[in-house]
Amino acid sequence: MPTPPGPPTRFRLGLVQMRCTPDPDANLAAAVAHVREAAAAGAAVVCLPELFRHAYFCQREDPALFDLAEPVPGPTTDALARVARETGAVVVGSVFERRAAGVYHNTAVVLDADGRLAGRYRKMHIPDDPLYYEKFYFTPGDLGFVAVDTQVGRLGTLICWDQWYPEAARLTALAGADVLFYPTAIGWHPREKATHGARQLAAWQTIQRAHAIANGVYVAAVNRVGHEGPPDGGLEFWGSSFVADPFGEVVAEAAPDREAVLLAECDRAHLEDVRRNWPFLRDRRVDAYGAITRRLLDE
């Protein structure tokens, strides 16, 4: 009996950088159309931004907004499963998950190319900053840091604020992920942009490029774009979705101010070569890292 073929050595990523409106159905329709566009351009995996089905509702604390949440599987995953089957592409989506009354998660889902729900990840690091009041809405994840087996290989999903934590990237890479996807909703407070904007954007990209280097993986950050909220405030999402290769080189990058379907090639032979020459995983001192589970080394 012939051996089933393994995952491809080379495959193409598609990153959907999109605007999100107050109309959830319009956002879903736009996302599905963008997945089709990416797949038609050869993408084997397509990733959507964080909470793409809604305008970014965490800018205020409002109990009525829990009505936006849905189960997994549910309407959004059903729609993504259909377009995955239609296009033969793996789809990484983001859902405001209703787990039970009073328990809601910010969840990334992976739909395999046959439409099967291959896995999910619940956001572990939950921010609470001005206009990012996520602790009001989301229970911290309890599934750990996972990698999901798909038609194109093993993929890792993390979400937005997780971007800043090397522990999250490391553990997901140790689970076997070749690519770390970061569905994202990040931007500027408009009044801060002139003073701090360039440094904030540079720090955001730098930390994720460092995850690619330290773990020898591809990193794909997929942001939304556009202004949401009142004209004299709100948030200006800075787009700039990008892919970094295992050497940390940015191999594809979108503009900060417009929608895009960004494409990038992944090559496992390149990943293998980088890891052979920079064997960071080999040289880890796993016997010496126990203190990492403590808040501070102040005793």
- pLDDT tens digits, one per residue of 50-60: 999 999 999 99
CA–CA dist 286, 296 (Å, integer):
19
Please report the domains of the chain, with CATH numbers, ordered by start residue. Answer: 10-276 (3.60.110.10)
Q: Which amino acid is at 94?
A: S
pLDDT of residue 2: 60
Is the pLDDT assigned to residue 3 strictly greater than 60?
no
pLDDT of residue 232: 84
Stretch 28-39: mean pLDDT = 98
Stretch 245-262: mean pLDDT = 98
Stretch 259-270: mean pLDDT = 98
Q: Which two tokens stand for residue 281?
A: 């995983």
Is the pLDDT assigned to residue 5 strictly greater than 80?
no
pLDDT of residue 130: 94
**Catalytic positions, please?**
50, 123, 160
- Share the mean pLDDT of the chain: 96
Is the pLDDT assigned to residue 4 strictly greater than 90?
no
Is the pLDDT assigned to residue 184 strictly greater than 90?
yes
Tell me 129's DSSP state.
B
CA–CA dist 265, 130 (Å, integer):
37
Is the pLDDT assigned to residue 255 strictly greater than 70?
yes
- pLDDT tens digits, one per residue of 192-235: 999 999 999 999 999 999 999 999 999 999 999 999 999 889 99
Closest CA to 224 of 169, 262, 190, 264: 262
Closest CA to 168 of 146, 186, 138: 146
- Per-residue confidence band for 294, with pLDDT thresholds at 50, 70 and 90: very high
Is the pLDDT assigned to residue 287 strictly greater than 90?
yes
Angle between helices 24-40 and 75-87 (to 10 degrees): 20
3-state secondary structure of 26: helix
For 141, phi then psi, to 5°, come to -65, 155
pLDDT of residue 47: 98
- pLDDT tens digits, one per residue of 94-125: 999 999 999 999 999 999 999 999 999 999 99
